[in-house]
Amino acid sequence: AQKITQTQPGMFVQEKEAVTLDCTYDTSDQSYGLFWYKQPSSGEMIFLIYQGSYDEQNATEGRYSLNFQKARKSANLVISASQLGDSAMYFCAMRERRGGAGSYQLTFGKGTKLSVIP
């Protein structure tokens, strides 16, 4: 079973509009973390935002915010005021404790390709 599900393979948004990218996750751990990354065509994974499982407030970083609904196990990324440079693949990832003491592992979703239209 997939641990991270991104149901939108592709999304289009008009420049200056807001867009929500969906992410649901599955874990039995009490302590975990959720990340969103942006991957332009160059390949680099760019960190956008992080939400810890115990964080009560939704995370925000500039134009990015994370809509965290723990009971529903969802962690949707909201991008406000879209820009042409936002066109890229977006990945949701979950950090879980695995392996030796202090070791963490990221599990990624399949990604959503966002295209911003002028």
Partner 1 sequence: KAGVTQTPRYLIKTRGQQVTLSCSPISGHRSVSWYQQTPGQGLQFLFEYFSETQRNKGNFPGRFSGRQFSNSRSEMNVSTLELGDSALYLCASSPQGAPAEAFFGQGTRLTVV
**Is residue 64 at the binding interface for partner 1, with CB under 8 A as the rule?**
no
Which letter, b or e, does each residue of 23-60 get, where b requires 16 or more Cβ atoms within 10 Å of its Cβ? bbbebeeeebbbbbbbeeeeeeeeebbebebeeeeebe
The smaller minimum CB distance to partner 1, of residues 13 and 93, is found at 93
Torsion of CA 47, 87, 68, 72, to 10 degrees: -120
Our CB check for partner 1 shows the closer of 13 and 90 to be: 90
CB of 62 to partner 1, least distance (A): 17
42 binds partner 1 (CB under 8 A): yes
When asked if residue 70 is in the footprint of partner 1 (CB under 8 A), the reply is: no
Range in contact with partner 1 (rule: CB under 8 A) among 9-17, 22-30, 79-87, 94-102: 94-102
